C-alpha cells in the first residue's frame, strides 16, 4: 500500500505518476501512499544532464520555477559554441544548438558562450589548457569541435578555411573552431630542403640509354605566393627538374656528356629557374650524382679507353726511341771528329765489361790486353 524510496546525496529522483512527471525528489527517504501502484521513481546522477529531452522541453516552457530551482540550462544558438565548466574546471566543449539541463547540487556548473562566427580562433590561454591534458585531473570532452595546431620552430602554418588560404601561422600553438566550416593547417618548412630525382632513364642524342640520379636543394621564397599558384609546390619542382634533366641529356651525345658533366648541372638549373619565375620557390643548387651506363656500353667504353691509352703509349715509346737514336747519332759524330773522346768511350766500355768479370789474368803486359780488345784506327 505504501511506496518507499531512498534518494542518495549524489542523486536526484523524478517522481512519476503513470509515467507523467510530478516533482523532483531531494536526497532522503520518500514515502507515499500508493495502493494502486501508479507511482514510479526515476533516479538521476548529478554529474549527468537530464536524459529525458521531452521532459526538459516541458520544464523550459511550463515549469520555469522547477527549472530554476533544480537545473542549470545550457542552451546554445546555431552560431554559438559553449565551454562547460564544473567547479571552475573546463570539462566539455559543447557544439552549436546544444540544449541540456544539468542538475544543481554537488557540482557548480557554468556555461561560457563563444560566437565562433565572429571569433574563429581560440583564445591563447584556452589553447594552452586544452593542449596540456597531462596537467589536468580529467580530460576534455568534445575536442573534435576544435582544430589544435602546434607549429614547430623554423616552420609556418598555411591556414585554410573552407579550402581558401587565409593567412600564415607563426611558430607556436594555435586553435580554431571547426563548427560550420572546414579548417586545415599545412605545415611548411622554411629551411633549405633537399630533393632527389633518382632513376631517370633517358636516351642521349646518339641513342644511348643512361640512368641518372640528380640532387637539388631549394627553399620557399614566398610561401603564400607559392601555395596560391601551385597545389603541391614540392611535386611541381620535382617535375620541372625531370623535364630539365631530359632536355639537357636528350639533346647531347654520350661523349659530350662524359666530357663535361658540369654542363648538365648548369643547363638544368638555368632552365628550372626560368620555368619557376615568380612561383614563390627558389632553387639553390643542382648536381648530377652519378651517370649509370648499360652493361654492354660499359664494356665498349672500356675497350675504347684501353685502345686510346695503348695508342698514346706507342706514340710516347716511338718518341723516346727517336730521341735515343738522335742522341746516339750525335755521340758518333763527336767520336768521329775526336779520337780522344773515342778512346775514353772505349775505356768506359772496358770498365763496364770488367765489372762483370770475377778474375782477369794478364799475360804480356796491359798494352797487349788493350790492343787485343780494342783495335784503334789511326787518325787520317
217 strand-pairing partners: 194, 285
The arrangement of strands across the sheet holding 281-292 comes to 193-203, 209-220, 281-292
- Band the pLDDT of 377: cuts 50, 70, 90: very low
pLDDT surpassing 60 at residue 136: no
Residue bearing cell 763527336: 334
The mean per-residue pLDDT over the stretch 243-270 comes to 86
Which is more confident, 307 or 169? 169
DSSP structural state of residue 121: B
Of all residues in the chain, what percent carry a pLDDT higher than 70?
A: 88
Q: Mean pLDDT, the chain, as a whole number?
A: 83
- pLDDT single digits (tens) 196-213: 998 888 888 888 788 888
Phi then psi dihedrals of residue 145, to 5 deg: -80, -5
Helices (H), the chain: 53-62, 64-70, 124-130, 223-229, 233-250, 254-259, 262-276, 295-337, 339-355, 366-373
Phi-psi region of 240 (alpha: psi -120 to 50; beta: other; left: phi over 0): alpha
In the chain, domain spans = 1-45, 193-293, 300-337, 338-380
Which is more confident, 374 or 133? 133
- Band the pLDDT of 370: cuts 50, 70, 90: low
- pLDDT single digits (tens) 138-191: 678 888 899 999 999 999 999 999 988 889 999 999 999 999 889 999 999 999
Residue bearing cell 667504353: 301
pLDDT score at 231: 84
- pLDDT single digits (tens) 30-81: 888 888 888 889 998 888 898 888 999 999 999 999 999 999 999 999 889 9
pLDDT surpassing 70 at residue 83: yes
Phi then psi dihedrals of residue 377, to 5 deg: -80, 125
Which residues are within 8 A (CB) of 289 and not within 5 positions of it... i.e. 6 or more apart?
213, 214, 215
pLDDT score at 368: 58
The fourth-level CATH superfamily of domain 193-293 is: Band 7 domain (3.30.479.30)
Burial of residue 82 (CB within 10 Å: 0-12, 13-18, 19+) is buried
Strand 109-114 relative to strand 81-86, pairing: antiparallel
CB environment 1-37: b (16+ within 10 A), e (fewer)? eebebebeeebbbbbbeeeebeebbeeeebeeeeeee
- How far is Cα 12 from Cα 24, in angstroms, rounded to an integer? 7
pLDDT score at 138: 67
Q: Find out whether 234 and 187 touch, Cβ atoms under 8 Å.
A: no
- How far is Cα 147 from Cα 127, in angstroms, rounded to an integer? 10
Task: Tell me if residue 145 falls in helix, strand or coil.
Answer: helix
Q: Find out whether 190 and 269 touch, Cβ atoms under 8 Å.
A: no
- pLDDT single digits (tens) 329-369: 877 777 777 777 777 777 777 777 777 777 666 565 556 55
Closest CA to 237 of 220, 261, 212, 253: 220
- pLDDT single digits (tens) 271-294: 999 988 888 999 999 988 888 776
- How far is Cα 174 from Cα 131, in angstroms, rounded to an integer? 10
- Band the pLDDT of 133: cuts 50, 70, 90: low
The three cell numbers locating residue 315 = 706514340
The three cell numbers locating residue 120 = 574563429
Amino acid at each position: 500500500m505504501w511506496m518507499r524510496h531512498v534518494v542518495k546525496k549524489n542523486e536526484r529522483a523524478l517522481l512519476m505518476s503513470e509515467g507523467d512527471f510530478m516533482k523532483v525528489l531531494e536526497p532522503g527517504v520518500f514515502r507515499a501512499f500508493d495502493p494502486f501502484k501508479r507511482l514510479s521513481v526515476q533516479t538521476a546522477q548529478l554529474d549527468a544532464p537530464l536524459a529525458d529531452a521531452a521532459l526538459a522541453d516541458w520544464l523550459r516552457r511550463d515549469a520555469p520555477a522547477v527549472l530554476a530551482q533544480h537545473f542549470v540550462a545550457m542552451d546554445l544558438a546555431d552560431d554559438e559554441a559553449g565551454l562547460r565548466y564544473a567547479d571552475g574546471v573546463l570539462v566539455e566543449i559543447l557544439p552549436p544548438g546544444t540544449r541540456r539541463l544539468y542538475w544543481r547540487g554537488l557540482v557548480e556548473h557554468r556555461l561560457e558562450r563563444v560566437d565562433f562566427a565572429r571569433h574563429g580562433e581560440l583564445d591563447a590561454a584556452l589553447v594552452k589548457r586544452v593542449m596540456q591534458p597531462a596537467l589536468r585531473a580529467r580530460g576534455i570532452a568534445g575536442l573534435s569541435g576544435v582544430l589544435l595546431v602546434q607549429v614547430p620552430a623554423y616552420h609556418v602554418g598555411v591556414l585554410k578555411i573552407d579550402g581558401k588560404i587565409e593567412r600564415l601561422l607563426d611558430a607556436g600553438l594555435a586553435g580554431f573552431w571547426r563548427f560550420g566550416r572546414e579548417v586545415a593547417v599545412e605545415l611548411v618548412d622554411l629551411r633549405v630542403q633537399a630533393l632527389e630525382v633518382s632513376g631517370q632513364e633517358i636516351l642521349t642524342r646518339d641513342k644511348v640509354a643512361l640512368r641518372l640520379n640528380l640532387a637539388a636543394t631549394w627553399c620557399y621564397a614566398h610561401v603564400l605566393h607559392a601555395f596560391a599558384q601551385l597545389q603541391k609546390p614540392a611535386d611541381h619542382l620535382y617535375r620541372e627538374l625531370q623535364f630539365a634533366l631530359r632536355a639537357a641529356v636528350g639533346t647531347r651525345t654520350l661523349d659530350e656528356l662524359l666530357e663535361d658533366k658540369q654542363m648538365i648541372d648548369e643547363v638544368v638549373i638555368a632552365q628550372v629557374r626560368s620555368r619557376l619565375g615568380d612561383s614563390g620557390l627558389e632553387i639553390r643548387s643542382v648536381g648530377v650524382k652519378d651517370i649509370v651506363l648499360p652493361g654492354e656500353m660499359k664494356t665498349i667504353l672500356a675497350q675504347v679507353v684501353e685502345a686510346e691509352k695503348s695508342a698514346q703509349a706507342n706514340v710516347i715509346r716511338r718518341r723516346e726511341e727517336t730521341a735515343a737514336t738522335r742522341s746516339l747519332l750525335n755521340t758518333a759524330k763527336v767520336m768521329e771528329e775526336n779520337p780522344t773522346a773515342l778512346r775514353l768511350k772505349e775505356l768506359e766500355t772496358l770498365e763496364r765489361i770488367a765489372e762483370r768479370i770475377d778474375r782477369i789474368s794478364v799475360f804480356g803486359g796491359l798494352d797487349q790486353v788493350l790492343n787485343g780488345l780494342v783495335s784503334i784506327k789511326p787518325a787520317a
